[in-house]
Amino acid sequence: MAGDEPAESTGSHGGWDQVAETAQIFEAELIALRLRGSGIEAEVVDQTFNQEPLPNVRAFAVVRVLVPKERLAEARRVLDHPEPLPEDGESE
């Protein structure tokens, strides 16, 4: 039955799998840009809850980066091997 399949075969979010999780939206956006630059489609899902005063609780500060499930292994390889910064500090 389709509902009994493990998350690895069905995707954890409708055909998309989580490749990274951060507490800050800018970190997730940078990760997504890195993946997109490598030709991998990536989506950022901001699941943070903001209401003051609220202490910094991890359960309320989750930003996920998702990729298509068939590209998950490739996305992990890309993120495991960061590109070095240019010598002069400028990008091409």
Average pLDDT by consecutive 10-residue portion of the chain (92 residues)? 42 84 93 95 86 57 92 96 74 60
Judge whether 47 and 65 are in contact, CB under 8 Å.
Answer: no
Beta strand extents in 1-92 (DSSP E only): 16-22, 43-46, 63-68
Look at residue 35 in the predicted model and tell me its pLDDT: 96
Look at residue 14 in the predicted model and tell me its pLDDT: 85
pTM as predicted: 0.70
Look at residue 48 in the predicted model and tell me its pLDDT: 80
